[in-house]
Structure 1
Amino acid sequence: MLTVSSVAGGGAGYYMSKDNYYFLGNMESRWMGELAVSLGLEGQVQAQDFEQALAGQFPGGIDLSRMSGGKNTHRPGYDLTLSAPKSISVLGVVMGDSRILDAHQRAVSVAMGEIERLASTRIMTEGVSETVLTGKLLAAAFNHDTSRELDPQLHTHLIILNLTEHNGEWKTLSSDRVGKTGFIENVYALQVALGKIYRNELRQIVEEMGFRTVATGKNDLWEIEGVPVEIFSQRSQQIREAVGDDASLKSRDVAALDTRKAKQKNPDKVALLTEWMNSLELAGFDFSALKQEALARQQQESESPLRAETTPADVRQAVNDAISLLSEKRTRFTFSDVLNRTLNSLDAREQIAVQARQAINEAIESQQLIPLDREKGLFTSSIHLLDELSLQQLAGEMKSTVVISGGAPARSSSSVPVMQQIEADRPALAIVSQPGGAAAMREGVLAAAALADGQGRDVRVLATDSRSARFLSEQTALAGRVITLKNLTDEALPDGGTLIVAGAEKLSVRDALTVTDQALRSQSQMLLMDGGGRSGTGNALQTLEDAGVTRLQTGAEPQVAVSVVSLADKRQRYSALAQEYATLSKQGDGVVAQVSGEREQRALTADIRQALREHSLLSEKAVTVNALIPQWLDSKNRRQLDTYREGMVLEHREPDSRTPVRYTIDRVSPATCSLTLLNDRGERQGLKLSNVDAAWSLYMPKAVEVAEGEKLTWRARQGKLRAGDSVTVTKIKKHALVVEHQGQTRVVPLTEAIKADHGYVTTPGSLVREQGAVLAAVAARDTGATMLNTLARSGDRVQIFTPLGQDEAERRLSRSPLYRTALAQVNPDKGELNAALDSARDSLMSPAEKAVRQAVSLTQGSEVVFSRPDVLASALPLHPSLRAEDVDREVARQVKAGELIPVPGPKGMAQQLYVTAASYEAEKQIIRLVAEGLGSQSPLMADAQRVLSAGLTEGQRQASSLILESTDRFIGIQGYAGVGKTTQLKTVLAALETLPAEQRPEVVGLAPTHRAVGEMADVGVKAQTLASFLMDVERRIQGGEKPDFSKTLFLVDESSMVGNRDMADAMGYIAAGGGRAVLSGDRDQLLPVDTPAGHRGKGAALCGCHAAGITALTQGDTPLSENADADGNVSEQPDGRGRMLQRGWFGGLSRPSGA
C-alpha cells in the first residue's frame, strides 16, 4: 500500500539510521528519478548529499533554500511509503529470499515511474501563475525492514525532494490547495491507484516465480498462499481496532499516526530473528517445502505448456462437450461458464486453463460459440442456431408436404370452437393455446384426441414430463396412447396419425426438432398444446411461430382461482404461507407449497413443519432417518467433476443383478479427473469419470427428521414405492416406519437409507393434478403470467405470496411473457445469417478494450471523472498479459473514437481527466427532461397552505407546498439526515387524501435500496426499487403497452444514490407516460449504488429545477437555469479534479442557512 506524509522530523538521521534496517545489507538506499542522473546522484544515498538535498541544496551549485528570520524555510519534500504485503516481508526479511527483495525493488521502480509523471511546477506567464508538467523528479529511496512493533515489514520510503526542472530552470514542486492541481494534491488524489499499481507489478513478478497468491481485501490486497501472516500483524491489528475493518484509507492513515509508538532503539538482531523463526515454526511453516513447490511449478510451466497425458485434441473435445452441456440447459451463457465446464472434465494440470482459454477462443473463431455482445459477456452456440434453423425448415416441410386426409367419416363434430377450426382447416402443424392448468390440459388433449378419432386417425399423446404422463394415462380415453420423449425415440409413430403434444411449452428446441422429425417421417399431424407455463431451453414454440406455424386460441378458458398475499419481508411471507398450509391441512384440503431453489425449499419446509406442530398435525415423537436424495445424472454432467462431492453415494447396477452395489465417494481428484470410492467393507477403488455410464446413479445423503403425521415423498423407486409417491407416516417403530399410501398400509424398513424426503414443498408446476390448493412463494421478478400458468398445473386454487404490492402483482399476472429466440438475438434484422455471424465475431473486444472498459466502470463507482492512473490501476490486474502501454493505446483509441471525453481543466493539471460519452449524454438527457418539464403540469393543489398540518418547521412547510403547488414535472427536495423529510412526506400524503378521488394521484415510491423502499412502505407509500421499476416498464413497452403515468406522482427517495443512467432512464419513462416526480435526498449522502457515479452537478442542479431544502430552521427555493442551453448542453465548470458536473443531485441547489 502507499501512504503519504511529510518528511520525518529527524531528517536524514531517521531514514539512514541502522535502527530501521537490520537484515537488508546493501539494499538499504538508492537514488531514483530522472534528475538523479542529471545531477550525478547514483547508487547508494550518502548522508551528506541527502542532508543538503533536504535543505534545498543540490550538486552543481543549485540552491533552492529560502531564509526567513534566520531560518531555512525551504520545504524539504514528501515521504511516499510503499509497503509490501506481509507475506513478502516474511519471505524477504525473515527467510532472506533475495529474489523476493529484488521483486519489491522492481515494483517500487514501476510505481516511481508513475509518480514521476505527476511532477509539476508553477510558472508566471504574463503575470498569471499557472501549473505546468515537468515529469522530472529526484527521490531518495530507503528500504526498511521492521515495524515499530518489531514485526517484519518490508517498506520503502520514497523521499521526493522538492526539486524539478523546467526549460533549463531548477524549480520547486508545485502546490495548489485551492485548485488541487499541484504535485502533492495529485498524489493524494491517486494514492489508491498508485498503491494498486505497485501491488499488481509485485504480484505478477511473484507469480512468475511459481508462488500462488490469494486476495485478502479490497483495493487488490493480496498475500502469498501458505505463508502465515497474522502472527506478524500487530500494527495492522492496532489500526483495525482503532478504526474498524471497513475504514477508509484516509481513516487508516490517521489511525496509523495516532497509534504509532516510538521506534525501539537497538533491539538485538539475533534475538529478533530467532523470535521470528520460532513463531513461524510454531505456526507449522515450512519455507523449504513452499520454495520447492514454487520452483517445481515454475519449471513445469517453462518446460511444457501441457503434459502429454492431456493433448490439445482432448482440450478441444472438452470445449465441445462443455458447449453441448450448456446448450442443453440454456440458450445464453458466459465465457466463464464454458471455461468452468471445460476444466471440470479435464485433469487439473499446470497451464490447462491457458490451453482451455485458447481452445474456447478457437471455438469463437470457428463460430461454434456466437457472441451476443462485444465484451465476450454472453454467447449462444451454433448448436442452438442450427437447431432453430432445422426446426423451422422441418416445420416448413410439414406444412407443405403432410396432407391431413379425412379418413373415416366424422362421427360427430367437436363442440370445442378451436377443434372445429382444426377440423375445418386440417393443419399439418398447429400450436393450440390452452392455459388453465391440469384440467385445461386434460380437456384440450381429450378434445383433440376425440377429433382425430372421429377422422379415423391413430392418436398418440406425447407428455413432456413423467408427472404429466402419469396424470394423462389415468384418463380412460387415453389408455395405452400416452408416450414420453424416451418412448418416441425407441419406436416410430403410426403412419398418418395425429400426435398431440401436451405441455408443449416445456419442449426444448432440440426435443422439438426430434418430435417434428418423427411426425414428418410418419406423415402425422402434430398439435402442440401450449399451457403457457415456463418454456424449455430455447422456446421451441416461438421458433415455430417465427417459421409461420399457426397459433390457435381457445375460446372460454377454465379459470383458476387466484389470490395474492403481499408481504415485503420474506420471513413474514414464509411464515404466513406455512400457517395457511397448516390451516388447509387441518381442514383436510389437498395442499402443496411451491418455491424455486433448493435453499428456499428447505427454509419453507422448516417453517411448514413448525406450523404443523403448532396445529398438532405433527407428533412430538420423531426419529432421524438416513435418506438418499437422487441427483440428476445424464450423458453430459456425469463426466463433469463438480457434479460430485465427497460423501455422496454412487450406486452401480449390473445388467444381471436386481440389487445395486453402493459406494461412498471418499475423494474427488481434480488432478486425475477421477473418484475414489469406498464400499461397505471399507475397501477403496478408483473410478475415472470417463467410465461413468448410465448404469451409475448418484445420491446425496441426508438426515431427515420424521415425526408421526409426517408427509414423505419418494424421490426414486424403492421396493413397491415409485418416484413421486407420497405417503403419510402413521407410526414410528424401532427399525421401521408405518406409512399410509393410497389407502393402503405399508411398512418401510429403516435398515437402509430411504430414498425419500419431506413432501410439503416442490418446485413450481412439478406436481400435476386438477384440483387442490397451491401455495406459492414467488420472487418479484417471477410474479407474472408465466409463473401463474406453471403453478396452475398443480391445482385449481393458487395463492401467490409475493413481495410486490397487491395492485402491481395482479397487473403482472394478467400479462403475457415475452421471449426472443437465439436466432433473433444473433440476427435481429433477419438479414443474411452468415454475415450476422461474422459481424458478431469480428466485433468482439480485444483484451485491452475489455479491461479498460471494466476499469472505467470500476473507477466510476466513486468518481464520475477519472485519470490514466485510475484506469491503469484497475485494468492491469484484469488480464495477466496486459501491460501499461496496451492500456495507454486503448485509452487513446477510445478518446479518438469519442467514447471517452477529455475534461477541460486548469492549464498544467498533472493528469488529464476523462468522462465517458455515455455518462455525459445521460447527464444532458437529465437536464433536457427537467427543462422540458418546467411549467408543464397543473398544480396538485391551488392553495396547499390551508390543508398543511400545524407543527411543521418552515422548511418542511415550504417543501410540502412546493410539491403540492408546483407546475413542474420534476422538483427536488434537499434535506440532511434527521431534519424531518419523513414528517414532511406524511404531511403531503395527508394533504392529497383531501382531494376528490378523481383528482387524487396515485403515489408511487422509488428508491435505489430495499431499505429505503421498506421505509416508504412503513409510511403507507406503495414502493419498489428503481431497478425493478425500470425492468417492469421495459417489459411493458416490449409487450406493446404504453404506460400511462398521468395520474401518478413518483417519490424518488435517496436520489443522490442513483446513477446517471438509471436516473435518466427513469425520468424518461416518467415523462413519456405523462407523470411527475419529486426527487428527494441528501447531497452529502453515499455515492450511487450503481455505476457510474452520479455527476455531482446533475441536471436538476443545472437547468432550472425548482428545489426546496429542509432544515430545522429555514428553506431555500431556487431556480437554476443559467448553466444549460436549450439543447441541454452544460457549460463546463472545471475547477480541478472531479469538479466538472460533480456536486450531486442537489449540489447546485442553494444551501439554506443553518443547513
Structure 2
Amino acid sequence: MTVRPNPLPKNAADYYAADNYYTGEQEGPSAWGGEGAAELGLSGHVDGDAFNAVLDGRLPGGVVIADGGDGTRNRGFDLTFNAPKSVSLVALIGGDARVVAAHARAVSATMAWAEARFGQARSGKAGKTLQPARMVYALFQHDLSRMLDPHLHTHAAVVNAALRADGSWVALNNGPLWKQSTLIGAAYHAELRLELSKLGYQTEINGKHGQFDILGIPRDVIEAFSARREEILRKAAELGMTSPRAMAQIATRSRDAKQAGDAQVARALWAQKAVVHGPAIHGVTQAAYDMVRPRSAMAAVRDWGATLVARVTRGFGPSPEPLLRGLDDVRRGGDLASAYAVAAGVRHLGERAASFDHRDVLAASLSMAEKGATVRGIEARTDALRQAGVLIAGPRGGVHANRLTTRDMLATEKTILAAVRAGVGTANSPMAACKADAALTHVAEARGVTLADEQRQAGLAMLAGTDRIQLIQGDAGSGKSFLFETVGRAGAEGGVGLLVLVPQNKLMEEMAGLGLKMRSLASVLQAHGRSDGRARMSETLSTLMAGKIVVLEEASMVSSRQLAGLIDVVRAGGAAKLVLVGDVRQIASPSAGRPFALLQKAGMPTVRLAENRRQQTDTLREAASLAREGRIGDTVALLGGRVCESADPAAAAVAQYLGLPTGERDRTALLTSGHVLREAVLGAVRDGLMAEGLLGPDAVTLRVWDNLNLTREELRQSRYWAEGMRLDIYRHQAGLVPGSYTVGATERGTGTVRLERDGHTRHFDPRSLHHAGQGAALAVPGEIEVREGDRLIFTGEDNTRGMTNGTAVTLDRIEGGTLHLSGRDRDHVIPPNDPMRERLGHGAVLNMHRAQGITVDRAITVMDSHDRLLNSQSLYYVLQTRAREDMTLHTDDRAGLVAAIESHRGDVPHALDLAPELSPSGGERFDPATGELAPAEVAAERAESRDARLLDAMSAALQTIGKEEVTAAPVWLVPEPVAMVQVEPIAPSRKELEIEITRDFDMDM
C-alpha cells in the first residue's frame, strides 16, 4: 500500500475517472465512505461535481471550510490499496468476480477501522488539542497498472475535512494517517486474506508486514504479468539502487500517463499471455470454487480451525487447553488466531525493546499472524492481556500511556536493580584504600602522568570500594582505557587481578596493547551461562574470575538479559566485584533493555568521569559537549564548514579521503551511520584505490556469510528461510546438534524446510525452535572481492589460531589463491580450503555501531537525512566523539539531518518507567486493570488476593512451554522478591477478527 505524497489534483474526479479504464467507456466502481460523508448525506456512486466541491471545502448544506491562513487549500491526499499480484490474476484473468468484491469489502473495512483509530481534528488554542473526528473519503476501484498489467487496486481519496464531536466542520489532521500508512496497508491485506479464505483460496505470508500471495500461482506466471515491476527493477539496476525508499522513488518518478484506449489494448495483451499462463490461474480458481461449493460454512471453519491448531501448537508446545476450547465457534476460532498472533508479536518486540508502542504490537502481531487473525481481534486480545496484567501499560494520561511492556521484563529489571542495591557497601574491598591509593600514584608516576581527581576517585572505587557492583559513568573521550590500564597495574602490585569483558570484539583489538586480561562478553555467557539465565558452576569459571575485579566495558551496549546473566556468572565465579563502565548517552544494545541507564536513573552510587581528554581542539571539545546535551543544531552550527551538504554525500566523502596524502589516509577513519552508506562508500573508495594502483591488479572472490540478525520469533517463521542459506546452531535444541546446516527448499503450505549436513538430510519445522531459546542464527551467502592491499576484518573466530571476530588485518599478498594477512600482533596464512575465508569482510569503512569505543586521529563521516531509524542523538554523539584532531560530516540535507536527529533521542523507556508500583521509590502502585494509580495499601491488598501463577493462562505469547525451563532472571543478592499479581482468566472475545499486512512500496502503480 502507498500514500501518495502529492495533493489531490484540481479536477480530481476527472483524474480518477481517466486513470482507471475499468470497463473501457464506463467509469469504474466508486463509493463515498466515512462517517463524515454519511452525516453529509453522501453515499453510493461518487458524483464528480459533488466530489470536486467537497475537495474545495464546499460541503452539502452550505457549510464552507475556510482556506488556510496563506489563502491556499490542501484538498486532501490519496491512500492506495493494492491487491497482491496473485489476487489480481485470479480476479481479472481467472475471472473470479467474488475476489473483486472481496477486495472492495477489505478496503471498506480497513478504511472504517482507520477512521476510528486515526481520524483526528485539532481544537483549542493554536490547535494544540487533538480529538477524534469523522472523515470523508471517496473510493475509486481500478484494474490496470501503468504497463497495462492486471492490477486490482483502489484509490481512497481522503478529503481535507473532518467533523468534530461539537458538530463543527474543520480541516482533517492527516498526520496520523500518513504516519500509520504501513499499518493501514497491513490491515487491508489481513482483511483481504480473511475474505479470500472464505472463498476457498489458500494463502501464505511471504514478506514483511504479512504480505501474502495465493498458493498455487507459479512464480513465472506472476512475473509474466508484472511488466511494471520489471521496469522498476531494471531502472533500479541501472541506477545501482536497492533500498525500498529508492524503489518507491523510482516507481513514482517513472510513471507514464495512461492513454485512452488502454483498456482494450490491455485485454488483448492479457488474452495473449493467458494462452500460456491461463490454465495455471484457472486451475487455482476452480480449486477455490471446489473448496466451498459442497461444504457448509461451518464445516470450512472447523477444518480451518483444526489446521490452525495443528500449525501453531507445534511451535508453542503442548496444547494450551484454555486456548483450544470452542473451535467449533467461528468467532472463538478467530480469537485463537489473534491470540497466537499477539503471542508472536509481543515476543518479537520484547526481544529488541524493554517497552513498545501499542501500535507496534498491532504491526508485529499482524506480520506474524496466521489466517483468521485481524487487526480488531488483535486489539481486543492485547486489551484483554492488559486488563489481566499480562501486558503492562503506562499510567493513563502519562507520557508512557501508549506503551506496553511484559511482566518478564519488569521482573528482569527489578532483579538487576535489587542486586545492585543489595550490594551497596557489602563487599570486602579487594585492596585497602591507602594501599590502593599508593599503588595508583606509583603507577601514574612511573608513566610520567598525574591522575586527575575524578580518575583517582574511579580507580579507588574499583580497587578499594565496598560496593559489590560498582558503576562508573565515563563520558566519551574521558580516558576509560587509560583508567583500566592504570587500575590493572595498580591491582597487580597488590595481588588483585583484573578481567575486562567487552560486548564487541572490535574493542578487544582497540585495547590489545594495555596488557589486560580480556574476554568477549558473549563468549563468557555462552561458556558459563545457561538458557535459563543462570550460571554453570565450574572450575574453569572459578579460574577465570575468582578473586578478580571483573570490569564490563561499554556497559551501555549490554541488554538487560545479558547483564542479569553476567551478574549470576560473576557471583558463581567468585569474583571480588563487578564494575560496570559505560556512557548512557552512547548507542544502546540492539537487544531489549538499557540496564546501565536504568541503574543510574534509579540513583545507584555512580562515579563519573566527565573531562574530555580525547578531543584536542576547543571546537571539537565544545561540539562533543553540545552533542551530549542533544543540541544538534548548535553542534552543526559550531562545526560550520566541517559539515558538508551535497547531493551525493558518499561520493563527496570518498573524494575528500582520496584527496589526502597517503600518510594522512592512514590516520583517517571512514565512518558511516549504517550499512547501506557503508557499502556505497566502500565501493567508491576501493575503486579509487585501484585507480591509483594501491590495490593489486588480481582479485580473489571469497564466499562470505551475512547474518540476518533475526529475532527468535522471526527465526521460527519459515518465510524468512530460503534455499541456500546457512543455519548455525550453537547449542543443542529442537533435535539439532551444534554446527552449521545448509538450508534447502521450503515446502509451501506446511512451512517445513530441508536441512543438510554431512551428507544427511532431514525435514525441519522452524516452529519447533523454542520461543525462549538462544543459540541459532540464519545467514545468507554473498561474495566479496579482495585484492592485495585491502584492509579486512575477521567476521568469525578461530581461537586456536588467534583469529578473533572484529580483528583488523591487511591482505599483503596472494599466492596461488592463498591469502597472506598481517595483523597488529601476528600474521595469518589462509589457504583456499580454509573455512576462515568465509569469515572475512572489508574493514576500510566502519558503521557507527562497530565504531563505538574506538579512537582515531581524524574522521570523515557520512549520514543520510532520510535514515529515520539510524539518525538518533546517541548515534550522532558517538560519531562526533571518535576523532582526536578533526572530523568532517557529509550529508545530503544539513537542516533535514539536524531535525531528524533532534527528534530522535535513540533510547527506549524502561519497563519500570511504565510501572510506578515497581519504581525505586516504591511509593506508588499501578493498577493494570484500570490504568490508574492506587494507594500502596490498596494495591498490596489486591496483589495478595491474586495468584501470580496464572500469569499467562490464556496467552501462548508469554507462557513458558516446552522442554527447557526458563526463569525470568537470575537472582543474585535479591532480598525482596518481585511483586507479582494474579491474572484473572480472560474471557475469549466474541468479535470477528482481522489480519494486517503492508507494502513498503508498490511496483505496479
| One-letter identity of the residue aligned with 1:398 | G
| One-letter identity of the residue aligned with 1:445 | F
8 Å CA contact 2:376–2:993 kept in 1: the answer is no
User: How is 1:43-58 mapped onto 2 (pairs within 5 angstroms)?
Assistant: none
What corresponds to 1:676 in structure 2? Answer: 754
C-alpha distance in 2 between matches for 1:588 and 1:403: 49
Aligned to 1:284, what secondary structure does the other structure show? helix
What corresponds to 1:383 in structure 2? Answer: 408
C-alpha distance in 2 between matches for 1:808 and 1:99: 48
1:609 equivalent to 2:682? Answer no
Aligned to 1:538, what secondary structure does the other structure show? coil
Of 705, 708, 711 in structure 2, the residue corresponding to residue 628 of structure 1 is: 705
C-alpha distance in 2 between matches for 1:411 and 1:94: 83
C-alpha distance in 1 between matches for 2:524 and 2:843: 25
In structure 2, relative to structure 1, the CA distance for the partners of 1:826 and 1:734 (3 Å cut) is same
User: How is 1:388-537 mapped onto 2 (pairs within 5 angstroms)?
Assistant: 388-399=413-424, 401-402=426-427, 404=429, 407=432, 410=435, 412-413=437-438, 414=440, 415-418=451-454, 420-421=456-457, 423=460, 426=465, 428=467, 429-437=469-477, 440-449=479-488, 459-469=498-508, 471-472=510-511, 474-476=513-515, 478=517, 484-486=524-526, 489-490=535-536, 491=541, 498-516=549-567, 524-531=576-583, 532-536=585-589, 537=592
Query: What is the CA deviation profile of residues 896-954 of structure 1, one whole-angstrom value per residue up to 9, with x for unaligned ones?
Result: xxxxxxxxxxxxxxxxxxxxxxxxxxxxxxxxxxxxxxxxxxxxxxxxxxxxxxxxxxx
In structure 2, relative to structure 1, the CA distance for the partners of 1:665 and 1:373 (3 Å cut) is farther
Query: What is the CA deviation profile of residues 649-705 of structure 1, one whole-angstrom value per residue up to 9, with x for unaligned ones?
Result: 3467999xxx99765322234643432235687x75322325668786643221212
Number of residues paired by the alignment? Answer: 659
How far off is 1:825 after superposition? 4.6
| One-letter identity of the residue aligned with 1:464 | P
How far off is 1:214 after superposition? 13
C-alpha distance in 2 between matches for 1:608 and 1:758: 11
| One-letter identity of the residue aligned with 2:839 | K
8 Å CA contact 1:773–1:795 kept in 2: the answer is yes
In structure 2, relative to structure 1, the CA distance for the partners of 1:467 and 1:205 (3 Å cut) is closer
C-alpha distance in 1 between matches for 2:88 and 2:708: 48
| One-letter identity of the residue aligned with 2:416 | L
Q: Which has the higher contact order (CA 8 A, sep 6+)?
A: 2
What corresponds to 1:705 in structure 2? Answer: 785
What corresponds to 2:388 in structure 1? Answer: 366
8 Å CA contact 2:791–2:810 kept in 1: the answer is yes
How far off is 1:605 after superposition? 1.0
Of 674, 692, 702 in structure 2, the residue corresponding to residue 597 of structure 1 is: 674
How far off is 1:647 after superposition? 2.0
In structure 2, relative to structure 1, the CA distance for the partners of 1:327 and 1:445 (3 Å cut) is farther
Aligned to 1:583, what secondary structure does the other structure show? coil
| One-letter identity of the residue aligned with 1:708 | E
C-alpha distance in 2 between matches for 1:367 and 1:779: 41
1:715 equivalent to 2:715? Answer no
Aligned to 1:210, what secondary structure does the other structure show? coil
In structure 2, relative to structure 1, the CA distance for the partners of 1:800 and 1:823 (3 Å cut) is farther
C-alpha distance in 2 between matches for 1:447 and 1:232: 69
C-alpha distance in 2 between matches for 1:471 and 1:662: 30
What corresponds to 1:567 in structure 2? Answer: 644
Of 832, 838, 844 in structure 2, the residue corresponding to residue 750 of structure 1 is: 832
What corresponds to 1:823 in structure 2? Answer: 912
8 Å CA contact 2:471–2:579 kept in 1: the answer is yes
Query: What is the CA deviation profile of residues 536-581 of structure 1, one whole-angstrom value per residue up to 9, with x for unaligned ones?
Result: 3432233112322133333643122476532223623443245416
What corresponds to 1:736 in structure 2? Answer: 818
What corresponds to 1:328 in structure 2? Answer: 351
Aligned to 2:435, what secondary structure does the other structure show? coil
How far off is 1:739 after superposition? 3.5
Query: What is the CA deviation profile of residues 302-350 of structure 1, one whole-angstrom value per residue up to 9, with x for unaligned ones?
Result: 544242423463987886565345333223335675577668889x667
| One-letter identity of the residue aligned with 1:595 | T
C-alpha distance in 2 between matches for 1:246 and 1:785: 31
In structure 2, relative to structure 1, the CA distance for the partners of 1:341 and 1:730 (3 Å cut) is same
Query: What is the CA deviation profile of residues 187-212 of structure 1, one whole-angstrom value per residue up to 9, with x for unaligned ones?
Result: xx9xxxxxx9x999999876642358
What corresponds to 1:209 in structure 2? Answer: 199
In structure 2, relative to structure 1, the CA distance for the partners of 1:698 and 1:585 (3 Å cut) is farther
In structure 2, relative to structure 1, the CA distance for the partners of 1:212 and 1:294 (3 Å cut) is farther
What corresponds to 1:837 in structure 2? Answer: 928
How far off is 1:709 after superposition? 1.8
8 Å CA contact 1:629–1:756 kept in 2: the answer is no
Q: Give the CA RMSD over aligned residues.
A: 6.4
8 Å CA contact 1:501–1:526 kept in 2: the answer is yes
C-alpha distance in 1 between matches for 2:569 and 2:92: 74
C-alpha distance in 1 between matches for 2:740 and 2:577: 46
8 Å CA contact 2:718–2:751 kept in 1: the answer is yes
8 Å CA contact 1:394–1:517 kept in 2: the answer is no
User: How is 1:119-268 mapped onto 2 (pairs within 5 angstroms)?
Assistant: 208-211=198-201
User: How is 1:268-283 mapped onto 2 (pairs within 5 angstroms)?
Assistant: 280-283=274-277
1:775 equivalent to 2:860? Answer yes
8 Å CA contact 2:476–2:612 kept in 1: the answer is yes
C-alpha distance in 2 between matches for 1:667 and 1:795: 48
8 Å CA contact 2:812–2:820 kept in 1: the answer is yes
In structure 2, relative to structure 1, the CA distance for the partners of 1:418 and 1:754 (3 Å cut) is same
| One-letter identity of the residue aligned with 1:749 | P
In structure 2, relative to structure 1, the CA distance for the partners of 1:613 and 1:652 (3 Å cut) is same
In our comparison, the structure showing a higher alpha carbon Rg is 1
8 Å CA contact 2:472–2:579 kept in 1: the answer is yes
Aligned to 1:619, what secondary structure does the other structure show? coil
- Percent identity between matched residues is 17
Aligned to 1:544, what secondary structure does the other structure show? helix
Aligned to 1:512, what secondary structure does the other structure show? helix
| One-letter identity of the residue aligned with 2:690 | R
8 Å CA contact 1:409–1:454 kept in 2: the answer is no
1:790 equivalent to 2:872? Answer no
Aligned to 1:754, what secondary structure does the other structure show? helix
How far off is 1:806 after superposition? 11
How far off is 1:495 after superposition? 7.4
In structure 2, relative to structure 1, the CA distance for the partners of 1:356 and 1:770 (3 Å cut) is same
User: How is 1:536-547 mapped onto 2 (pairs within 5 angstroms)?
Assistant: 536=589, 537-547=592-602
Aligned to 1:533, what secondary structure does the other structure show? coil
8 Å CA contact 1:345–1:641 kept in 2: the answer is no
In structure 2, relative to structure 1, the CA distance for the partners of 1:710 and 1:352 (3 Å cut) is same
Of 272, 282, 289 in structure 2, the residue corresponding to residue 287 of structure 1 is: 282
8 Å CA contact 1:497–1:523 kept in 2: the answer is yes
8 Å CA contact 2:387–2:930 kept in 1: the answer is no
In structure 2, relative to structure 1, the CA distance for the partners of 1:547 and 1:652 (3 Å cut) is closer
C-alpha distance in 2 between matches for 1:499 and 1:153: 62
User: How is 1:730-1129 mapped onto 2 (pairs within 5 angstroms)?
Assistant: 730-742=812-824, 746-751=828-833, 754-764=838-848, 766=850, 769=854, 771-779=856-864, 786-787=874-875, 790-791=878-879, 796-797=884-885, 799-803=887-891, 820-825=909-914, 827=916, 834-835=925-926, 837-840=928-931
C-alpha distance in 2 between matches for 1:484 and 1:819: 27
Aligned to 2:887, what secondary structure does the other structure show? strand
